[in-house]
Protein backbone atom coordinates (compact mmCIF):
# COMPACT_ATOMS: atom_id res chain seq x y z
CA UNK A 1 0.00 0.00 0.00
CA UNK A 2 1.33 3.44 -0.94
CA UNK A 3 1.28 6.49 1.33
CA UNK A 4 -1.34 8.09 -0.94
CA UNK A 5 -3.87 5.36 -0.19
CA UNK A 6 -6.03 5.00 2.90
CA UNK A 7 -4.16 5.88 6.06
CA UNK A 8 -2.93 2.87 8.02
CA UNK A 9 -3.95 2.37 11.61
CA UNK A 10 -2.51 4.71 14.22
CA UNK A 11 0.81 3.50 15.55
CA UNK A 12 1.85 1.94 12.27
CA UNK A 13 5.31 2.78 10.95
CA UNK A 14 3.80 3.62 7.57
CA UNK A 15 2.35 6.99 8.54
CA UNK A 16 2.18 9.25 11.53
CA UNK A 17 -1.19 9.88 13.14
CA UNK A 18 -2.81 13.03 11.85
CA UNK A 19 -3.20 15.76 14.41
CA UNK A 20 -5.71 18.54 15.05
CA UNK A 21 -8.13 19.81 12.43
CA UNK A 22 -5.82 18.58 9.67
CA UNK A 23 -6.92 14.98 10.32
CA UNK A 24 -10.29 15.85 8.78
CA UNK A 25 -8.67 16.82 5.47
CA UNK A 26 -9.07 14.11 2.84
CA UNK A 27 -6.00 12.18 1.78
CA UNK A 28 -6.34 13.51 -1.78
CA UNK A 29 -5.66 17.03 -0.46
CA UNK A 30 -2.35 15.89 1.03
CA UNK A 31 -1.52 14.15 -2.26
CA UNK A 32 -2.39 17.29 -4.25
CA UNK A 33 -0.25 19.54 -2.02
CA UNK A 34 2.71 17.16 -2.25
CA UNK A 35 2.31 16.82 -6.03
CA UNK A 36 2.20 20.58 -6.60
CA UNK A 37 5.25 21.15 -4.41
CA UNK A 38 7.13 18.35 -6.20
CA UNK A 39 6.31 19.87 -9.61
CA UNK A 40 7.48 23.31 -8.49
CA UNK A 41 10.69 21.82 -7.11
CA UNK A 42 11.15 20.04 -10.45
CA UNK A 43 10.91 23.43 -12.19
CA UNK A 44 13.71 24.64 -9.91
CA UNK A 45 15.73 21.52 -10.70
CA UNK A 46 15.38 22.05 -14.45
CA UNK A 47 16.34 25.71 -14.11
CA UNK A 48 19.46 25.00 -12.06
CA UNK A 49 20.52 22.04 -14.21
CA UNK A 50 20.14 24.16 -17.37
CA UNK A 51 22.28 26.89 -15.78
CA UNK A 52 24.88 24.28 -14.83
CA UNK A 53 24.96 22.87 -18.37
CA UNK A 54 25.39 26.37 -19.83
CA UNK A 55 27.94 27.72 -17.35
CA UNK A 56 29.41 24.93 -15.21
CA UNK A 57 29.68 25.14 -11.43
CA UNK A 58 29.61 28.93 -11.44
CA UNK A 59 27.15 29.87 -14.20
CA UNK A 60 26.57 33.41 -12.94
CA UNK A 61 29.77 35.40 -13.60
CA UNK A 62 28.50 38.59 -11.96
CA UNK A 63 27.50 36.81 -8.74
CA UNK A 64 29.96 35.99 -5.95
CA UNK A 65 31.38 32.48 -6.28
CA UNK A 66 29.70 31.23 -3.08
CA UNK A 67 26.30 32.37 -4.34
CA UNK A 68 26.80 30.80 -7.74
CA UNK A 69 27.85 27.51 -6.12
CA UNK A 70 24.82 27.65 -3.82
CA UNK A 71 22.45 28.06 -6.76
CA UNK A 72 24.15 25.20 -8.60
CA UNK A 73 23.80 22.97 -5.52
CA UNK A 74 20.06 23.58 -5.64
CA UNK A 75 19.94 21.27 -8.67
CA UNK A 76 20.67 18.43 -6.25
CA UNK A 77 18.67 19.72 -3.28
CA UNK A 78 15.53 20.57 -5.30
CA UNK A 79 15.64 17.09 -6.84
CA UNK A 80 16.11 15.41 -3.46
CA UNK A 81 13.25 17.36 -1.88
CA UNK A 82 10.89 16.54 -4.75
CA UNK A 83 11.76 12.84 -4.74
CA UNK A 84 11.41 12.62 -0.95
CA UNK A 85 8.03 14.35 -1.12
CA UNK A 86 6.80 11.99 -3.81
CA UNK A 87 8.00 9.08 -1.68
CA UNK A 88 5.88 10.43 1.17
CA UNK A 89 8.78 11.30 3.47
CA UNK A 90 8.78 14.02 6.10
CA UNK A 91 12.37 14.79 5.20
CA UNK A 92 11.07 16.11 1.86
CA UNK A 93 9.05 18.78 3.67
CA UNK A 94 12.01 19.61 5.91
CA UNK A 95 14.35 19.95 2.94
CA UNK A 96 11.85 22.05 0.94
CA UNK A 97 11.48 24.39 3.92
CA UNK A 98 15.27 24.67 4.28
CA UNK A 99 15.57 25.42 0.56
CA UNK A 100 13.07 28.28 0.56
CA UNK A 101 14.42 29.74 3.81
CA UNK A 102 17.90 29.96 2.28
CA UNK A 103 17.06 30.58 -1.39
CA UNK A 104 14.84 33.60 -0.83
CA UNK A 105 17.47 35.65 1.05
CA UNK A 106 20.10 34.57 -1.51
CA UNK A 107 17.92 35.80 -4.38
CA UNK A 108 17.12 39.06 -2.62
CA UNK A 109 20.84 39.58 -1.92
CA UNK A 110 21.62 38.97 -5.60
CA UNK A 111 18.97 41.47 -6.67
CA UNK A 112 20.07 44.19 -4.27
CA UNK A 113 23.85 43.74 -4.05
CA UNK A 114 24.72 42.24 -7.43
CA UNK A 115 22.14 43.52 -9.92
CA UNK A 116 21.34 46.72 -7.97
CA UNK A 117 17.65 46.12 -8.60
CA UNK A 118 14.50 46.39 -6.56
CA UNK A 119 13.72 42.83 -5.43
CA UNK A 120 9.98 43.56 -5.43
CA UNK A 121 10.19 44.48 -9.11
CA UNK A 122 11.60 41.08 -10.08
CA UNK A 123 8.98 38.48 -11.03
CA UNK A 124 11.28 35.58 -10.15
CA UNK A 125 11.61 36.78 -6.57
CA UNK A 126 7.87 37.37 -6.28
CA UNK A 127 7.19 33.81 -7.47
CA UNK A 128 9.72 32.51 -4.94
CA UNK A 129 8.05 34.53 -2.17
CA UNK A 130 4.70 32.93 -3.05
CA UNK A 131 6.24 29.44 -3.13
CA UNK A 132 8.08 30.05 0.15
CA UNK A 133 4.87 31.22 1.81
CA UNK A 134 3.03 28.10 0.67
CA UNK A 135 5.84 25.76 1.74
CA UNK A 136 6.29 27.42 5.13
CA UNK A 137 2.55 27.55 5.89
CA UNK A 138 1.34 24.27 4.40
CA UNK A 139 4.51 22.22 4.97
CA UNK A 140 4.06 21.83 8.72
CA UNK A 141 0.42 20.83 8.15
CA UNK A 142 1.27 18.17 5.56
CA UNK A 143 4.31 16.83 7.41
CA UNK A 144 2.41 14.79 10.05
CA UNK A 145 0.62 12.95 7.24
CA UNK A 146 3.89 11.68 5.79
CA UNK A 147 6.15 8.85 6.89
CA UNK A 148 9.05 9.40 9.20
CA UNK A 149 11.36 6.58 8.10
CA UNK A 150 12.11 4.29 5.21
CA UNK A 151 10.01 1.13 4.96
CA UNK A 152 11.24 -1.77 7.02
CA UNK A 153 12.26 -4.89 5.10
CA UNK A 154 9.63 -7.62 5.18
- Residue 115 DSSP symbol: S
Q: Which residues pair with 147 in a beta bridge?
A: 89
Using alpha carbons, select from 77, 129, 18 the residue that is nearest to residue 85.
77
pLDDT of residue 11: 42
CB 128 within 8 A of CB 103: yes
Distance, CA of 121 to CA of 134 (rounded, Å): 20
CB neighbour burial string for 57-75, b if at least 16 within 10 angstroms, e if fewer: ebbbeebeeebbeebbebb
pLDDT of residue 27: 81
Per-residue pLDDT of the chain (154 residues; tens, 9 = 90+): 454 544 444 444 444 455 555 555 678 888 998 999 999 999 999 999 999 999 999 998 899 999 999 999 999 999 999 999 999 999 999 999 999 999 999 999 999 998 889 988 999 999 999 999 999 999 988 888 888 866 666 6
Helices then strands (H, E): number in the chain? 4, 0
Domain boundaries, the chain: 26-145
Distance, CA of 121 to CA of 11 (rounded, Å): 49
Count other C-beta atoms under 10 Å from residue 87's C-beta: 17
Amino acid sequence: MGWWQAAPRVGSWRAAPRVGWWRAVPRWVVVAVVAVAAVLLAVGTVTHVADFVRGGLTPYPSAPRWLSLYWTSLAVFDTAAGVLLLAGRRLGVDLAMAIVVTDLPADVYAAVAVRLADPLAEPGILRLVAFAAVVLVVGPLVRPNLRRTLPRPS
